[in-house]
Amino acid sequence: MLKVVVIGPESTGKSTLSEQLATHYQTVWVPEYARQYLEELPRSYEQHDLLTIAEGQLALEDNLAAQANKLLICDTDLHVIKVWSEHKYGACDPRILEQIATRPYDLYLLTYIDIPWEEDPQREYPDPAMREYFYTIYRDLVAASGVPWVEIKGSFEERKSLAVTTVDKLLRK
């Protein structure tokens, strides 16, 4: 089974694209576990919560992989938790870093910041400079990962079209 990760800064259409791709390929997609976890958390998240979120993300991914039809679409991976942890707390739990190093993926679809910010209580950085800052971090991460990646930009229709073309190439290999 092939695993495609949709990654990028907040409010760049990751969930929308993940759902579109899963529908197109008649498979399942792994939502961002952090969203569910934080909705149920009766306080602000703390650094130790990030390990719990990482474990939940991987468990969700593993459970849904069993239902996937040759392709699993992941609306994030642990790189996102690493980025948030390092930005907010200055460090990342080594157990998260170990999982990043041992978890294989086949393609990254990096969503660009060219769509409007949508307000959401869980989102933290609407400032255009911060969106660019996080985009650069994610771009550098995927570029250094050794995994093929493609920048996804444009309208929602253009994003889906480019993503489908890219995933089709992966499936033909």
Report domain extents, the chain: 2-172
Mean pLDDT along residues 117-142? 81
pLDDT band at 54 (very low <50, low <70, confident <90, very high): very high
Rounded to an integer, the average pLDDT of 98-104 is 95
2 and 71 Cβ atoms separated by less than 8 Å: yes
Q: Which CATH architecture has domain 2-172?
A: 3-Layer(aba) Sandwich (3.40)
Q: pTM score, two decimals?
A: 0.95
Is 60 exceeded by the pLDDT of residue 107? yes
CA-closest candidate to residue 83, choices 71, 100, 70: 100
d(CA 158, CA 165): 11
pLDDT for 121 equals 58
Count the alpha carbons within 13 Å of 19 in the hemisphere toward its beta carbon.
7
Return the pLDDT at 34.
93
Predicted pLDDT of residue 125:
58
Q: What percent of the chain stands above pLDDT 70?
A: 95
Quick: pLDDT tens for 10-26. Answer: 889 999 999 999 999 99
